[in-house]
Every structure is written in C-alpha cells, then in structure tokens.
Chain A
C-alpha cells in the first residue's frame, strides 16, 4: 500500500479551507499550519494564467527528515505516511532544516509537527480532513498500489507534476496540471 494525495490545480480556487479544516481537526495552534496555498501567475495581461495549489508534507518515499532524525521520532507508518512520535521528539529541528518543502514547524509545546495525512482519520476509514472539506473536491486520496483507486486512475489519465522532483525525495503529493 502506498498512500498518495492527488490535487487538481484546474479545480482549486485557493480558498484555503484545507488550511482551516486541518487546524481545527489537528488542533494546530493559531499562527501555525500544516498545509498552505500557493498562487503562481504566468504571462502578461491579458494573456495570463494562474495555478493554485494546496501544499503540505509530501510524505516522500525517500524522506530526508526521517533519515536525519537523531532519535527516530520521524518515521514511516504503514502506507508510507511520515509521522513524528511526539514523546520521542527532542525538538532539535534537524528535520525542519532538511525538508525541501518547508513542511515542518516547531510546535510551541516543544516538538516538531507536520501533516500526517490525518493518520488518525485513516485508521477510522475517513479521508484526511483537507480532502473531505474541500468545496471544489479538487483533492483525492488513496492507494497508488490499487489500480482501481481514483488516485491511480487520475495519474494514468491526466498530466501531473510533483514539487521539486530534482531533489530526489519521491514525493507522494501529486498535482494535476
């Protein structure tokens, strides 16, 4: 099983609902966030286009954060979810520095925090909160090893990209373009 998130930039309106839903669901303190939204504009008026995309931890197959963690707090869960075990984390911040996506932050309670793909919800058979709240349904979540899954199908049938492929992290968040 390989969990992946597929985000359709053609449908995202950049509303940032994913950010608020995640903050509530995961009790992320105000002032911090596990996901965020980027807008990129290209061209000159009136030949302009924009891309909107929701970003977060890429749950990389080859995660620099897991590799550099001195205590083993950063680890892989089943399906490739990258998680931090809070009581094992000493808050050294090495993982924060190592992440090419700047997806981790130091929580005021002394540990490092980031997106877990809402691992607690996955265990209950629910989708990550960002996916389930998105008004445009531009976010998909599933198992890339399952050829029937929507995420697999979308990646077969649509053009896509990942962020910073050159750093070789093998990210598991894909953007339909």
Chain B
C-alpha cells in the first residue's frame, strides 16, 4: 500500500489510484457533541418516525441522548421500506436538524433604502400579510387563482388549506418532472399505475432489467436491499445505460447504449420475443389484446435494425432477450422513477410495460405484485366549497391521459403570456425548490415576476426562497407530527411520525402553520384540533390501535385481503378500456397517439458538444441535502464525468475546473471539477443532480459544483402527458472563467 487515504484526497478525490467516496475532509465542527465517554443507557429514549429526507419514507427510530439531543436514527425492523436499515441519507437525517443554516424565523421581503431585503417578522404579522393577500386575490380573481406546489409531508397540510379556501390547483413536480410518463405508460397497458414504492417483486426476481435506472445510486432503500439479495442469489441483471453505473458494474450484461435510442432496443427485444415465440403464450392468450398488431409492428424491428441505431450488437440483443424469456415470468423490467428524458417518454415506458406483458411478469412472482394499502379514515371536517375551475379547464382536453396535475402547466398559467381565462396569481411553494426542479428556469422566473403573492415554506433557504414575498420556516420531520405514512406495499401498513425534539428556533410544523393561517382566513372549522397528535390518535383508534401503542411500535402491519399475484389461469380483469392488457392501446389511439410505440430519432450533439446526462448519488436527495452537514461531508460537490478521449480532445485534466455552456449559450453560474473516467462514453458527460446551489445562505454548498437544471433550456414536452424531457441538452467546456458570473 503506497498511498494513504489522505494522499488520495490531495488528488482532488479523483486520483488515479482510487476515489474516496466518503470524504473525511476537515470541515468545521457543527452541532456535534464531543466523543466523550459512553452514554448513560438509562437516559436514552427512542421515538418512532418515518424519514423525510427522500420520498421513500422509511420508518425508523430516533434516539435521544442524556441531554435530550438527537443521537442517532435507525431503521424500524418491522418496516417494509427499510427492514431496519436506513440509507445514508436517513442515517444522516440528523444533519437536517443540526444544520445551522436552517430557516429560523418568518421572513418578509421589504424595501429598505431602495433595496429589497428580507426582514424577520413575527408569525402573527406573517399570517396577517398572507391572509390579506390571499383574500385580495380571491376578491379580484377567485380563490382558484392561488396555486400550491408541494413535495413531502408538509404539503399535505397545505393541500387541505387550499381546498378549504376554494382552490384545487395543487401540483407537485414529482409528476411531470419525474415519474409521470411511467404512470401513463403502464396505465395504458395494464390499467394500473405504478405509484410509490414501485410494486416490483425484486425479492423473487430471477432476471432484473434496468433501463437507465441506477439502483444503488438512487438509494430507494428496499429496492437497493432487494437488488443486493438478487446478486446473492445469482440473478441475472441486465443494465442499459450509457454510463457504467454502480448497477451496471454488478450486471451480467451491461449494454452501453447510445443515448436516446432506448425505444429501438425495446422494439428489437420484442421482435426477438415475438418472432421466436418466446412470449408467455397462455398469459398473453388469456389476458392480452393486440398481439397480432404488435407482431406486425415489430416484424421489421430486428436486432440488426436496432444495432445500427443503438450501437448494441444484434447478438447481444438476441442473447439478452432470450435470457429474459428463459427466466420469465420472474423477469422484471423495472419501470424506473425519473423518466422524463426525451419527450417520447410515455411511449418508452409503454414499450417497457409491453415487454413485461410479453414475459407475463405483471401480477406474477418475480415480476410485479399487486400492492395493498391500509384504509385510514379521514378525520371529520366540514365539506370543502365547490371550485369554479381547475388546471384541467386551462388545458381543455390536452394531456387528457395525465392522471395528475402538471407543474409546468401551472407555470404556464402564471406566465404573462397566458391568454386563457384561467390565470394563476399567487403561489404557495412547500418543500420543493422549483428553480431546480422545473426546467427552463427563465420561464419560471418570468412567471414569478408576474405573481401577486409568493409564499415559500421550507426548512432551508433555497433558490426559490430568494424570490419569496414571505418565507415561513417549517421545522424538520424530527420535530413534528404529520399524517401517517400510508403506502401501497406487499402488506398494508401504516407508520407514525412523532417529534423526538422540540422545534428549533422559531420554526413550526406545517400543521400548526396551516391552523394559524386558517384562523386568519376564518377557516378554522376545517381544522378543529389543537395538536396533530389528536388527528392521528383518532384515526388509529378507528383502526383498533392508538397513538400510545404506535409510539411503542412505530409501524402497524395488517393482513392482505386479496391475492398478491395472478394464479395461473385465474380470471383477471385489468383496468383498461378492454379489460385486458393492451398491447395495442385504444386510449392512445383515441387521443391521436401511436397505439404501439415507434422509435423516432432524436437530435445528436453538434460538433464540440456533448449530451448532458445527470443522475443521483446515494448520499444525496435532489438539492435538499447538499448543505446537510453529515451528507455534505460525504459528497460536497458534483464532478463532471468525462471520457479520457473527450478530455484529451479538449485539453482537460483531472480535477480541473470548467464552466459549461449549452446549445442555447447558457453558461453555468459556477465551475465544476472534471473527473476523467472510463465509466462513460464519448458522446455524453454526466453529473449528479442537486449541486451548484446559488443561495449564499447555504454556507456549505453555495457555489459548489454545477446545477444541471440551469443548463436544461431545451425542454422536450411529452405530447401525451405534458412531462418535461430534459436530456436533449448539449454542453461544451469553458476553461476560462466567464466574465459575467451571475450569482443571486
């Protein structure tokens, strides 16, 4: 061993010998007790929670020490999301609580000496200001002109406030900027949505197919756990990715596909399975509609045809298709999660759904299971007032197959260019940093300038908070009650969240914020409780449990009532128009779209440009953890993956800082360090999403790395459901510091 761990770091953490992923740099000590001697075990307490660092919502236990401070967070062994093991973000969730950069008081935008600034205000003043503005918008344009953008548990409380106020214009970027196309792609095929967590039977799969889905880098906890067990069992993993992702490195087959050609590969796979009659004949015969149409459609989509498009050899296409068929129906083409790539995403996800159908894996062991969800009674409240219009009226039939609201359409409705009768005048943004989530930032900013009110609720200062009229500091999940976690799973279950500590600073739980604001709006009748614990306790008692019991258990598991899988030959009705699995989609045909997916070529990077790809790192969630002291330490900035040939062509060195310029001339605010690696091909570059934070109040993460969203100005909208395809942007390297660096 001739290199020490610290020497690796001197090589900018991207040395030739190895890359230190967990970075033990000597940062400042933050909110951490000293190591001292062992704790007095009798003083240790534990409180049940479910994690809010990402959307997987793993249930666990928060431990407090002799001083009542949070010591550690661990998984709950009865929880199907975590199985007793939290991921690094959940384990590091403590950093959300300890982060000294947290929002501490309500802040109001004021003008002082001709300059706009934020001033600390009392909660009461904040509520009076907001209520007055809301009422004014209601008088002038109706309550529907207020829109809510939300993500996470806090948003649910605000959803109730909006409905009570008279607006159903509620949206979340997690649909049209993320998983929307797969919901529509699978729904048009099987008549069922995927939802979260994805009902994939990874536990029993014999062949796992990942298409751009980098499990292990996306730390979807139970799926990472189950993939690891699949590796132990010797299951075949087939990964399609232009980059050697972690999952690709664990795969029997890695198909380093040319980006944007996945549909061609999927059609060729179906060609092999259909022409060699490898599909599940009984299953397709009994449950599927449109096999003959599909046969005709894919007849000329041969592996040789696809090889020319995808660069994957025809032999490998045949071999992998046969291997999938060999393990069927325990072959799983995983639907993935962030799938808004090229604008034809619904069709790509439909092709994936159809491939699953041919293999007979929907509703089958080792494929997809039918999830069940606990029924939790609604806490009694008066009915909500009727609304005069919603976002659907604005769309007037466009994106009719979208089964959820489309966040970018809300931006359109708020934009000065909106000529429809349906105009949005005010936004509440709760727990989502729209500047990083919705592409085409310029357009979002133009919409924001056009608003009469922008309220931002978050735990941390983000880019979006910088544009707020008023900022409300929400306390973290470790300091509050929330609705129970009720998610579809193999077994119905609920998990509770109980505060382990009191809210720090002047921060408050969303349910408190909503109740106090409702009072100012004279809507208190909808929120007739003093603490959210009353709501949860009432619900649990209806279900035969209680909050007291759940404080000891954390998770309540229930019996299933329906079968988890289709038994061979059983009658089964699917939720499609025909009641069958639609290989030929009547809904798509009716809406004027291809009933069977087609491959259409996408633009390629011009000379000197490279396709910008982005993804996840296991220790971070979007941009929300970049400043978390525990997680920032593991990865404090993103780097740019560059193939050695590309580096040589552009005279780039490992660790060198470059700025990126996209096809529309947009230059990144900040530089990014080059990581020269053989793990990526020559036609694209890659970075982890969520860095390049531009709010100076984020002391640890400000200006570290690049925000990929800033460079996504070419947005390819999915004509079927309105999703924003973001992977058609091309970048070139700028090696000298650009003259005008825009930093807000």
Contact A31 B228 (CB under 8 A): no
Contact A133 B618 (CB under 8 A): no
Question: In the complex, what residues of B have CB within 8 A of residue A30's CB?
Answer: 27-30, 32, 629-630, 633
* A120, CB-defined interface residue at 8 Å: yes
Q: Contacts A20-B634, A33-B22, A37-B22 hold; do A49 and B249 have CB atoms under 8 A apart?
A: yes
Contact A120 B28 (CB under 8 A): no
- One digit per residue, 1 when the CB lies within 8 angstroms of any chain A CB and 0 when it does not, for chain B 250-284 equals 10001010000000000000000000000000000
* A44, CB-defined interface residue at 8 Å: yes
Number of interface residues of B (CB under 8 A): 70
For window 28-74 of chain B, which residues contact chain A by CB distance below 8 Å? 28-30, 32-38, 71-74
Q: Contacts A11-B232, A30-B27, A31-B24 hold; do A46 and B91 have CB atoms under 8 A apart?
A: no
Question: In the complex, what residues of A have CB within 8 A of residue B28's CB?
Answer: 30-31
* B19, CB-defined interface residue at 8 Å: yes
In the complex formed, the residue of B with least CB distance to A54 is: B22
Contact B32 A27 (CB under 8 A): yes
Contact B24 A45 (CB under 8 A): no
- One digit per residue, 1 when the CB lies within 8 angstroms of any chain A CB and 0 when it does not, for chain B 71-85 equals 111110000000011
In the complex, how many angstroms separate the beta carbon of A43 from the nearest chain B beta carbon? 6
Q: Contacts A24-B71, A27-B34 hold; do A132 and B20 have CB atoms under 8 A apart?
A: no
Question: In the complex, what residues of B have CB within 8 A of residue A38's CB?
Answer: 8, 18-21
Contact A39 B19 (CB under 8 A): yes
Instruction: Knowing that A100-B1, A136-B216, A136-B224 touch, tell me 6 more A-B residue pairs with CB under 8 angstroms.
Output: A27-B32, A36-B24, A45-B643, A48-B679, A102-B4, A113-B35
Contact B228 A36 (CB under 8 A): no
- 9 nearest CB pairs, A to B: A13-B216, A15-B618, A136-B228, A164-B1, A24-B72, A17-B88, A19-B22, A102-B4, A37-B21
Expressed in whole angstroms, the Cα–Cα distance for A131 and B681 within the complex equals: 35
* A98, CB-defined interface residue at 8 Å: no
16 A-B pairs whose Cβ atoms sit less than 8 Å apart in the complex: A20-B88, A20-B630, A20-B631, A32-B26, A38-B18, A39-B18, A40-B17, A41-B244, A45-B682, A46-B244, A46-B254, A52-B21, A102-B4, A135-B87, A137-B85, A167-B1
* B219, CB-defined interface residue at 8 Å: yes
Contact A15 B678 (CB under 8 A): no
Question: In the complex, what residues of B have CB within 8 A of residue A28's CB?
Answer: 35
* A78, CB-defined interface residue at 8 Å: no
Expressed in whole angstroms, the Cα–Cα distance for A132 and B225 within the complex equals: 13
Question: In the complex, what residues of B have CB within 8 A of residue A44's CB?
Answer: 644, 678
* A14, CB-defined interface residue at 8 Å: yes
A/B pair count, beta carbons within 8 Å: 186
Question: In the complex, what residues of B have CB within 8 A of residue A109's CB?
Answer: 34-36
Contact A108 B88 (CB under 8 A): no
Checking B92, B256, B678 against A41 with a beta-carbon cut-off of 8 angstroms, the contacting residue is B678
Checking A25, A43, A100, A102 against B72 with a beta-carbon cut-off of 8 angstroms, the contacting residue is A25
Checking B25, B26, B227, B678 against A43 with a beta-carbon cut-off of 8 angstroms, the contacting residue is B678
Number of interface residues of A (CB under 8 A): 57
* A21, CB-defined interface residue at 8 Å: yes
Binding site for A on B (CB under 8 A): 1, 4-6, 8, 17-22, 24-30, 32-38, 71-75, 84-88, 91-92, 94, 216-217, 219, 221, 224-225, 227-229, 231-232, 244, 246, 249-250, 254, 256, 618-619, 629-631, 633-634, 643-644, 677-682
* A50, CB-defined interface residue at 8 Å: yes
Question: In the complex, what residues of A have CB within 8 A of residue B17's CB?
Answer: 40
Q: Contacts A45-B643, A138-B228 hold; do A32 and B677 have CB atoms under 8 A apart?
A: no
In the complex, how many angstroms separate the beta carbon of A40 from the nearest chain B beta carbon? 5
Question: In the complex, what residues of A have CB within 8 A of residue B232's CB?
Answer: 11
Question: In the complex, what residues of B have CB within 8 A of residue A86's CB?
Answer: 37
Contact B219 A14 (CB under 8 A): no
* A29, CB-defined interface residue at 8 Å: yes
For window 67-111 of chain A, which residues contact chain B by CB distance below 8 Å? 86, 100-102, 105, 107-109
Contact B27 A10 (CB under 8 A): no
Contact A135 B24 (CB under 8 A): no
For window 131-173 of chain A, which residues contact chain B by CB distance below 8 Å? 132-138, 163-164, 167
Contact A14 B87 (CB under 8 A): no
Expressed in whole angstroms, the Cα–Cα distance for A76 and B26 within the complex equals: 29
In the complex, how many angstroms separate the beta carbon of A95 from the nearest chain B beta carbon? 14
In the complex formed, the residue of A with least CB distance to B254 is: A46
Checking B18, B74, B244 against A133 with a beta-carbon cut-off of 8 angstroms, the contacting residue is B74
In the complex formed, the residue of B with least CB distance to A111 is: B35
Checking A48, A107, A108, A164 against B244 with a beta-carbon cut-off of 8 angstroms, the contacting residue is A48
In the complex formed, the residue of B with least CB distance to A16 is: B22
